[in-house]
């Protein structure tokens, strides 16, 4: 395992690779003259002290939003430990995340920590070099925009670290090897500092930007609202969200709005739309061999087993999630309290050579844009043929992730199993449902219901349903107007006010679950809802008990790997600080980093 202590140290030189600046580790040697030499292929800070140079460094910081290597993938921390998904493979540390049988020595935690603090360091490098740019080489407004974007990105990386590890150190541009303060402590509250960074960005970023992937004022305000949600600052969040909903625009000037069809949020042809508040830009066929896309690490490389598109299966929707899309046959509303009483029919343990009829009960149509199910069209790739390799089902069930898949009709959106499907960190539906949460807690239950109904009304649009093919043998011929399943979506009609705050709270939380499933929110949402109540443990332990009792082809196999799986309140809300990071933070006075409780 490499020592990744380099991200604490101030850069002396930076390598420019493919127009992206990357921080170098400070060199060590007993030969002083050697230390004074720049490595081959490097560029000094003074050379980069121009607008173009700082722009290059800034792009390097944006690049770290895409944690491309497998064991830094966000879904491993936000989805696999939640009730949304299962880890669709055998063995390895990811199983430990699903079962909460992990410790601080798992290298997966060090990989994620390293990825995030590399991003922090890159953002800080921008600020350090920007401070050295002569006034004649950059205008005051240009400098302010670069500074604000760098601070925004620094806040994004710190926020991600805080969501995963809880108590993490905050590093600004003054933290450096030269200043002797790189062994930062993690005992001071970090949320106020993240909040301050997003506030600075919100105050100073322009409303429009030349590139869709850059942060603007409204993206910063939306992230600030997210921080308020984690801090349970409901009054501050309420006014800010109202401003975002009324006045917010995308970087290219589109007023924030829900797109007409749910699927358009996950289609490369319609990305960066009015619902995309801030997204990590994914691209393929750009000279990077697919490395800039949603990669095969569980996201872009997934599809129906044995079907026309290859599957990798790291990330698979759970049976519990599938059950969440059942609706009342009369009202079309979700079964908030009885959704998991029985399982919707699937092809679990059914070979693809055997007959199978999909579930015929009423379902929310978002199910078939969230997970692949046998017998249902899988985008325009063909009818999902089900599992021709039954042992795979024994680890994760019969469903496959679909939101990060590009359609067959867009061949330019796929390369080497990577896809040009953006990873949307915040979309407008997210904002509306935060606003609904706030109204439940300190506002109006009727207003909360209105926000939820905006999201549900979009889901109810028949044009946005999955439809049958004109010709099953040639899916590229297009679709009929016939829904592919028994879809039904109803609106709430005064139930929030009639049934009270507790019901309204449960309804909003359930709506977030089915609207944002498999989009890397669920585990963190459960923690927000918990706030010391034990809610998170109740939800996740009920999920584990349900999943372990699902019969699978390999008798006893699932029971064996889920045996002992139990979420422990007061411990598993956060993952452990990597032991390797604690070790390298040790000085003569002991370790600077403090481990989380229970580890």
What's the pLDDT score for residue 47? Answer: 77
Residue 123 lies in a domain: yes
Q: Which of 440, 441, 464 is nearest to 452 (CA)?
A: 440
Of the CA atoms within 13 Å of residue 347, those in its CB half-sphere come to 28
Mean pLDDT of the chain, nearest integer: 87
Q: How far apart are CA 574 and CA 109, in angstroms?
A: 11
100: tokens are 């909460």
pLDDT digits (tens, 9 = 90+) for 477-520: 999 999 999 999 999 999 999 999 999 999 999 999 999 999 99
CB-CB contact of 596 with 565 (8 Å): no
Residue 144 lies in a domain: yes
What is the domain-level CATH number for residue 33?
A: 1.25.40.390
Residue 389 lies in a domain: no
- In this structure, the dihedral spanned by the alpha carbons of residues 391, 394, 396 and 398, taken in order and rounded to 10 degrees, is 70
| Beta strand 467-469 pairing with 479-483 | antiparallel
CB-CB contact of 585 with 183 (8 Å): yes
What's the pLDDT score for residue 18? Answer: 26
Q: Which residues of 306-343 are buried (b: 16+ CB within 10 A; e: fewer)?
A: bbebebbbbbbbbbbbbbbbbbeeeebbbeeeebbeeb
- Beta-bridged to residue 294, according to DSSP, are 419
Residue 492 lies in a domain: no
Residue 96 lies in a domain: yes
pLDDT digits (tens, 9 = 90+) for 234-276: 999 999 999 999 999 999 999 999 999 999 999 999 999 999 9
Residue 356 lies in a domain: no
* Helix (H) / strand (E) containing 28: none
What's the pLDDT score for residue 17? Answer: 27
What's the pLDDT score for residue 589? Answer: 86
Give the burial class of 15: count Cβ atoms within 10 A of its Cβ; 0-12 exposed, 13-18 middle, 19 or more buried.
Answer: middle
Residues of the chain with pLDDT under 50: 1-42, 553, 555
Query: Could you please report the per-residue DSSP string of 288-308?
Result: STTTTSB-TTTTSS---TTSS
Q: How far apart are CA 346 and CA 318, in angstroms?
A: 12
What's the pLDDT score for residue 535? Answer: 98
Structural domains of the chain, count: 1
Q: How far apart are CA 35 and CA 24, in angstroms?
A: 13
Task: State which residues form the domain around 37.
Answer: 5-205+574-591
Q: Which ranges of 212-364 would DSSP assign to H, the alpha helix?
A: 217-231, 234-247, 319-323
pLDDT digits (tens, 9 = 90+) for 89-144: 666 788 889 999 999 999 999 999 999 999 999 999 999 999 999 999 999 999 99
Residue 585 lies in a domain: yes
Residue 475 lies in a domain: no
- Beta-bridged to residue 23, according to DSSP, are 14
Q: How far apart are CA 12 and CA 258, in angstroms?
A: 46
| Beta strand 276-280 pairing with 42-44 | unpaired
What's the pLDDT score for residue 4? Answer: 28
| Sign of the torsion formed by the C-alpha atoms of 70, 76, 78 and 79 | positive
List CB contacts of 85: < 8 A, sequence separation 6 or more: 75, 79, 315, 316, 317, 318, 321, 401, 518
Helix axes 445-459, 501-515, angle to 10 degrees: 30
DSSP category for residue 405: P
pLDDT digits (tens, 9 = 90+) for 432-459: 999 999 999 999 999 999 999 999 999 9
Q: Which residues of 353-385 are buried (b: 16+ CB within 10 A; e: fewer)?
A: eeebebbeebbbbbbbbbbbbbbbbbbbbbbbb
Total Cβ atoms within 10 A of residue 349: 16
Q: How far is CA 372 from CA 82, 303, 398, 466, in A?
A: 19, 7, 9, 11
Q: Which of 195, 205, 160 is nearest to 521 (CA)?
A: 160
Q: What is the CA radius of gyration of the chain?
A: 24
């Amino acid at each position: 395992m490499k020592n990744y202590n380099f991200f604490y140290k101030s850069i002396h030189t930076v390598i420019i690779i493919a127009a992206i600046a990357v921080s170098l580790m400070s060199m060590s040697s007993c030969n002083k003259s050697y230390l004074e030499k720049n490595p081959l292929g490097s560029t000094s800070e003074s050379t980069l002290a121009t607008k173009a140079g700082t722009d290059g460094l800034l792009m390097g910081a944006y690049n770290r939003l895409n944690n491309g290597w497998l064991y830094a993938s966000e879904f491993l921390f936000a989805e696999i430990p939640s009730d949304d998904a299962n880890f669709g493979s055998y063995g390895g540390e990811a199983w430990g995340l699903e079962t909460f049988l992990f410790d601080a020595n798992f290298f997966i935690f060090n990989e994620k920590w390293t990825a995030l603090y590399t991003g922090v360091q890159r953002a800080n490098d921008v600020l350090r070099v920007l401070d050295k740019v002569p006034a004649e080489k950059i205008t005051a407004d240009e400098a302010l925009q670069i500074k604000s974007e760098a601070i925004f990105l620094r806040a994004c990386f710190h926020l991600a670290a805080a969501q995963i590890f809880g108590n993490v150190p905050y590093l600004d541009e003054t933290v450096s090897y030269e200043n002797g303060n790189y062994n930062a402590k993690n005992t001071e509250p970090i949320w106020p500092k993240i909040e301050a960074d997003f506030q600075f960005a919100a105050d100073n970023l322009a409303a429009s930007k030349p590139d869709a992937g850059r942060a603007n004022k409204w993206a910063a305000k939306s992230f600030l609202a997210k921080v308020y949600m984690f801090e349970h600052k409901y009054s501050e969040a309420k006014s800010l969200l109202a401003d975002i909903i009324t006045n917010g625009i995308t970087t290219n000037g589109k007023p924030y709005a829900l797109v007409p069809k749910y699927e358009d949020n996950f289609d490369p042809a319609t990305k960066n739309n009015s619902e995309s508040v801030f997204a990590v830009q994914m691209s393929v066929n750009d000279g990077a061999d697919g490395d800039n896309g949603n990669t095969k690490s569980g996201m872009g490389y997934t599809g129906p087993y044995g079907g026309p598109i290859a599957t990798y299966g790291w990330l698979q929707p759970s049976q519990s999630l599938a059950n969440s899309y059942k609706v009342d046959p009369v009202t079309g509303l979700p079964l908030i309290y009885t959704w998991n009483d029985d399982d919707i029919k699937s092809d679990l343990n059914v070979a693809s050579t055997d007959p199978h009829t999909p579930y015929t009960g009423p379902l929310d149509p978002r199910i078939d844009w969230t997970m692949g199910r046998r017998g249902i069209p899988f985008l325009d790739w063909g009818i999902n043929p089900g599992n021709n390799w039954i042992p795979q089902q024994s680890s994760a069930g019969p469903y496959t992730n679909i939101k990060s898949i590009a359609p067959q009709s867009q061949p330019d959106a796929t390369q080497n199993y990577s896809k040009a499907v953006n990873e949307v960190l915040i979309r407008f539906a997210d904002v509306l449902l935060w606003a609904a949460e706030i109204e439940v807690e300190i506002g109006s239950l009727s207003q909360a219901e209105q926000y939820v109904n905006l999201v549900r009304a979009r889901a109810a649009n028949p044009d946005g349903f999955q439809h049958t093919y004109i010709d099953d043998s040639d899916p590229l011929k297009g679709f009929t107007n016939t829904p592919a399943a028994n879809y039904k979506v109803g609106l709430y009609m005064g139930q929030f006010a009639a049934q009270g705050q507790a019901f309204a709270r449960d309804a909003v939380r359930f709506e977030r679950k089915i609207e944002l499933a498999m989009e890397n929110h669920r585990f963190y949402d459960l923690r927000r809802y918990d706030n010391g109540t034990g809610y998170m443990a109740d939800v996740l332990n009920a999920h584990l008990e349900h999943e372990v009792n699902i019969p699978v082809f390999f008798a006893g196999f699932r029971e064996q790997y889920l045996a002992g799986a139990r979420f422990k309140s007061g411990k598993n809300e956060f993952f452990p600080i990597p032991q390797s990071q604690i070790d390298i933070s040790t000085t003569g006075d002991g370790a600077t980093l403090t481990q989380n409780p229970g580890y």
